[in-house]
A and B are shown apart, each in its own frame.
Chain A
Amino acid sequence: MNLAAKDIQHNLGRFALTVFGIGMLLMIVMGMGGIYRGLVEDATLLVERIGADLWVVQRDTRGPFAEVSRVPKTLVYRVLAVPGVESAREFVFHTIQREQNGKPLRMSVLGLSWPLDKGEWLPLVAGRPLAQNHYEMIADKTLGLRPHEQIKLGKETYTVVGITGGMASTAGDGMIFVTVWDSQAIQFDTPNEAIRLERAAREHRSEATDLFLSQPVLTEQLSRPVAELPAVASPELSAVVVRVAPGADMDAVAAAISTWSDVSVFTKAGQEDLLLKGMVDKSRRQLGMFRALLTIIAAVIMALILYTLTLDKLHSIALLKLIGAPNRVILGLILQQAIVLGGVGYGIAFLVGQKLFPYFPRRVVLTSEDLLRLAAIVLGISVLSSLLGIWRAMRVEPNEALMG
């Protein structure tokens, strides 16, 4: 005969409600852990997916994700010349916020270095990779864009041709993928009036320059688009991503590029480290603190519930002692209920959480390691929180049964 089970059956409604409450509380604790995991995964997702061995960024910056980095377009060719480099690609990345259907739409724009990269490596859930070098884009499904939908960015209109699943930037914004050219067009888009003003300013400057006075034919060149002016730098990249040839020494390649005084080099692990230590760390500590507090609160609430459940049973406990039940029976009664409370609460947390977490705006990732650790913690606080009740039950005198 299991006394704990009998008592639970007798007060089933109340016990069920209590367990549900504990379950919700544990679900929040679980969710906190999942949000943290999601943060870490989001942070490293891009670096992981892009799969580059080395990241070459502007000297002394921690770019291109943690901060802004600018490198010249020609860096790609310099890097390609380094022995051991299999491929080097342009990497352009920036975040924009526009409106679509009256709602703010935050997108992280990643440039694909067409034609080497058409986005075949992306986890497409619908549509196709890019098929032309302009005006097509692949968007993540969290952005809510549909295939064939058109969206105006800068002076051009782009058509959504593919949809990815789970591609979010480190900040959790959905990503769009266009060619590097398009991404730069979007990034460096200037209003027409600004272009006209700049052109006028250019002509005005030329009137004061000896070169233009002696060679007036040059003045005509000033009204051409910026990209065609030899004296003006073409738009810059965020970084160059490098794949090292199989068998080549990655450290040697990194060391060789590091000697150039205009760039810094990070390995994939180093880049991930930058993201985790720099960007996610505060959030992680914040969530950690919150989770610890919630765990303590759950333990206190459970202790209170178990203490109350014990108080309700004092007469029965006295009676059990009176008819000669050993302490182990009474201890078992309380401890088993504590474990059922924690265990079933945990189960509810897991089941409800699984249904609920996908609707959270940012990813909540439940790893089996985290789940196991939380299960151990719940078991721990179940046992710990039953101590107060057990202590009270042990103090009950058998003759208290006569005071009923």
Chain B
Amino acid sequence: MAKYIVKRIISAIITIWFIMTLTFILMNSIPGDPMSMGKALQPEVEAAVRAKYGLDKPLIEQYLTYLKNYTHGDFGVSFQKIGLTTNRIIADGFPYSLKIGGWSSLFIIVAGIGFGIISALKQNKIPDRVMMIVSTLGATVPSFVFATLFLYVFNRKLGWVPSFGAGTWKHYIGPVLCIGMFSLAYVTRLTRTSVLDVLQQDYIRTARAKGLSEGVVIIKHALRNALIPVVTYLGPMIASLITGSFVVEKVFGIAGIGSLFTTSITNRDYTLIMGITVFFGIFIVIATLIVDVLYVFIDPRIKYD
């Protein structure tokens, strides 16, 4: 067990190293020197950056410096603005995205799994049909359409929520719903399918044949099994929700990491792009790692030797 976890941690570290290397190679294989792109840099900025990253040095040395800086928690400085660092951007933007993504994840886990179970138990009845139609919409309507519609109805028409910023809890309702809409729909459908599948299994018939009540059969025997594939999806989902969404943050005027990341891309701020990409990568790898470890407790069939 401990051995399994150690093994998974080691493979997570290797994955992160791989992501860093790949990011480095990609950024360096884009034609042109980052220095020569876009508008001319202020000489002192260019000098600082060149000194920091040794851009005149051989690539291999640059790579090693890059690895060294990152392992010390320094994710690079901006090419575009003096004093702006990746760490700063993460510190500024990430709390908003974490809050939106976190609440959204919680909402999806509770509502998505709940809706999925109800849908499965009422298969082909009215609640199921309604939820399937709604979840089809949720999975297909783009989030900017949904966000705009949300603001139009609840801000413009009803005046229930503010339209811009992140001051109060009311500001978060829209972003939390919009960012999670697709995953909510997906988790609902995944749970429904999985519960329906598990209810067909022989061990459910065995449970009924023991004389257990339908409630015990469903909660104890069906759900525990049905949620295994859902948990698999949840890890990467939470990671992607927490790393923010450009569209949703833009529409609701929140300076989260999603929109800061996109801004750095449109600014061609190479070091920032690298830094945030690696940060996201680490985040997703850790989320997957947590799911893998949780899995051992959920599914005893997982072989961990």
Are A and B interaction partners? Answer: no
Q: Enumerate chain B interface residues (CB-CB to A < 8 A).
A: none
